[in-house]
Amino acid sequence: MSREIVALINREDRKVAVAVGKEIPAIARAVDAIVAGMRKGGRLIYAGAGSSGRMAVLDAAECQPTFGTPPKLVQALIAGGARAITHAVEGAEDDVRRAERELRKRKLTRNDVVVGVTASGTTPYVLAALRFARERRATTVAITSNRRTPVTRLAKIVIGPEVGPEVLTGSTRMKAGTAQKMVLNMLSTATMARLGHVYENLMIDVVQTNAKVARRALRILAEASGKSVSAAEHALRAAGHNMRVALVMLKLGVEVREARKRLAEAGGNLRRALDE
């Protein structure tokens, strides 16, 4: 019985990647909009409720440690606030005034991109966030599993993977939630790669918050430079644990002062500093 249940779920889950793949043109347009906005000082702000909001919170929370970005560059609003991350907050998704209040508090500008995440396409909290964003002339994006809903009329860019009926009827934390997770990963990761927070396929700006990540940083430097882990450790220590500076030192065989100078002259662009 258990085997049959999980096999059924697995068969349905296989459809998700195909559905998301059909949305690649729209996802790419959203990435272009986010990159353009961030280059002008804008931010990426997700808005969602329930499972959708939790997916958004997760993606936003991972950006700072993974890409070394400022904490406010990628944000997530969830209906019901922080408590809603771990508990169901009754009536939160209907609180349209809170959505507007949260965005007003963040002083939304036309350079920001607001991404509404709603599987149903009808969540009042998300609709209110997108409506307010449009009024402020910010770029609006919708991630939904239902294109024939109000959210598509409020979004400039619609990402609508059609995953089909859920195994557990109405439980959008399943296929719809998986699709949301995939799309959010693509939006944030592609954006950060475009902005130079990725070197090749390596997390060159990862924040070294613990021993495990510190070891990972050394492996990243060794792989990117072709040098030994011990050489990477020496360079990273000399660079004050700045991985970009350490990589320039390793690849070009220069001292820390020269590496910092090259990066400064390149405006922080790692590839330009490396003459690549």
The residues that are catalytic are 62, 93
Using CA atoms, how far apart are residues 99 and 230, in angstroms rounded to an integer?
Answer: 50
CA torsion sign for 164, 168, 173, 174 is negative
Three-state secondary structure of the chain = CHHHHHHHHHHHHHHHHHHHHCCHHHHHHHHHHHHHHHCCCCCEEEEECHHHHHHHHHHHHHHHHHHCCCCCCEEEEECCCHHHHCCCCCCHHHCHHHHHHHHHHCCCCCCCEEEEECCCCCCHHHHHHHHHHHHCCCEEEEECCCCCCCHHHHCCEEECCCCCCCCCCCCCCCHHHHHHHHHHHHHHHHHHHHCCCCECCECCCCCCCCHHHHHHHHHHHHHHHCCCHHHHHHHHHHCCCCHHHHHHHHHHCCCHHHHHHHHHHCCCCHHHHCCC
Can you say how many angstroms the Cα of residue 102 is from the centroid of all Cα atoms in its chain? 19
